[in-house]
């Protein structure tokens, strides 16, 4: 599948985590809501020197950002760390299957996590659902329950029309990606 990292990079992540644990105690910080929709505990990990492990893994290009709709407080810092690794072609960013995709490239990526960049040709809201239309039949949807976070932050998705944006998520049939929060959208231009 297009979103699977080679074993060598997976081992680097494991080594980085072992190294952090080997240096002493880890601080595990978890805030409400502590569990994700699958019941998994969500936490931030800090090493003995106060280094934030999630940011360090992003800076090394070993992981990509995936923002949960109810945990957006660190989005800007996480995106910045990922962008730094991308600019420096570190880790995953050296591999062609992890590059930022154009909408026309997604037909073979259904079911994989991708980062997609393109110009929004149209944006509308119908029956409470937002939709962003790109070229080549690609679109992004914003479910009615997720529109709440857009309203709360003062973002009208229709304002993305004409802009180049970057979104990320699981590529669904269509192809499409569901956008759960405004923090999941990076305006490029």
3-class DSSP assignment, residue 40 = coil
Do the Cβ atoms of 55 and 78 come closer than 8 Å? yes
* Cis amide bond preceding 29, omega within 30: no
pLDDT tens, residue by residue, 56-100: 999 999 999 887 777 777 888 999 999 999 999 999 999 888 889
Q: Domain ranges in the chain?
A: 7-96, 100-187
Which of 12-21, 111-120, 124-133 comes out lowest in average pLDDT?
12-21
Do the Cβ atoms of 170 and 178 come closer than 8 Å? yes
Percentages of the chain per state (helix, strand, coil), in multiples of 5: 35, 25, 40
- Whether 100-187 and 7-96 are alike in CATH topology: the answer is yes
* Cis amide bond preceding 87, omega within 30: no
pLDDT of residue 2: 60
Which residue did the predictor score with more confidence, 2 or 157? 157
In whole angstroms, what is the distance from residue 149 CA to residue 4 CA? 30
Give me the chain's average pLDDT, please.
Answer: 87
> What pairing do the DSSP bridges indicate for beta strands 122-126 and 44-46?
unpaired
pLDDT tens, residue by residue, 130-187: 999 998 889 999 999 889 889 988 999 999 999 999 999 889 988 999 998 888 898 9
3-class DSSP assignment, residue 163 = coil
CA atoms within 13 A on the CB side of 83: 9
DSSP-assigned beta bridge partners for residue 164: 119
In whole angstroms, what is the distance from residue 50 CA to residue 53 CA? 9
Radius of gyration (C-alpha) of the chain in whole angstroms: 17
CATH architecture of 100-187: Beta Barrel (2.40)
pTM over 0.85: no
Any idea which fold 7-96 has?
OB fold (Dihydrolipoamide Acetyltransferase, E2P) (2.40.50)
């Amino acid at each position: 599948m297009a979103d699977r990292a080679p074993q060598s990079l997976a081992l680097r992540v494991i080594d980085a985590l072992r190294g952090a644990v080997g240096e002493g105690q880890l601080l595990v910080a978890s805030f409400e809501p502590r569990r994700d929709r699958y019941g998994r505990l969500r936490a931030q990990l800090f090493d003995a020197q106060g280094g934030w492990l999630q940011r360090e893994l992003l800076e090394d290009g070993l992981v990509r950002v995936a923002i949960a709709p109810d945990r957006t407080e660190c989005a800007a810092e996480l995106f910045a760390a990922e962008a730094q690794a991308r600019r420096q072609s570190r880790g995953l960013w050296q591999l062609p299957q992890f590059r930022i995709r154009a909408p026309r490239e997604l037909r073979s990526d259904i079911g994989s996590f991708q980062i997609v960049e393109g110009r929004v040709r149209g944006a509308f809201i119908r029956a409470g659902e937002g939709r962003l239309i790109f070229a080549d039949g690609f679109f992004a949807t914003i479910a009615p329950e997720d529109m709440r976070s857009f309203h709360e932050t003062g973002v009208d998705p229709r304002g993305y029309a004409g802009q180049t944006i970057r979104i990320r998520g699981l590529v669904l049939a269509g192809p499409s990606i569901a956008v759960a929060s405004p923090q999941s959208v990076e305006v490029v231009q």
